[in-house]
Amino acid sequence: MSDPGQNAVARVGVIDYKGGNLRNALNALNMIGTPGRLVSGPSDFDGIERLLFPGVGAFGDSVAQLDRQDLRAPILDWLASGRPFFGICIGYQVLFEGSEEFPGTRGLGFFSGEVVRFPGDDPSLKVPHMGWNRVRPRDPADPVWAGLPREPHLYFVHSYFPRPADPAIIAAETGYGATTFASAVRSGAVFASQFHPERSQSAGLRILRNFLTA
């Protein structure tokens, strides 16, 4: 008999924007028994129940590639429909209106706010922010944090981070030097994080499993 929990999360789409880190995300999904299917164009959304947008890269290049592949409109339609979505790193940042990294480049604009760079006036602060850091959930009862410590340590690699216009969507915060930033946001079934769950060992795999089974 098949595992009903696995059947419930069998159709996971992974946005393929020709950027980095896709293999890590696919490997993580395989490790938790929910293989992902690459989504490279509008027709690939058929049959998908949950959508994952992982990756690393530059804001402007990533958005431009989404437009070249005609992915902007179907991603926005997906987000507006209330279906489950998990954005990771650049998949988190592109949800906002724009970025200091590429002034004038229009993000997806699903959330109001801008992506900003860590301040450069602290010589002791290494940028990019790279390595393990503590994540402080605002609502520990959110199912995405189930089974995790109160403030889990997760893996980061980034020089920029979103600054949401609406603080109510902030799901978790992280401190780096004197800066506290939104390390995750939540709005309905949309969850996105600056940390990399696919590179955060057992804690990250638990977050992905929680998202896929909630």
Catalytic site positions = 89, 196, 198
The secondary structure of residue 102, as a DSSP letter, is S
Q: Tokens at residue 51, please? A: 């959508």
Judge if the upstream peptide bond of residue 128 is cis by omega within 30 degrees of 0: yes
The closest alpha carbon to 53, from 32, 31, 83, belongs to: 83
The closest alpha carbon to 188, from 112, 104, 81, belongs to: 81
Residue type, 210: N
Q: How many CB atoms lie within 10 A of CB 139?
A: 12
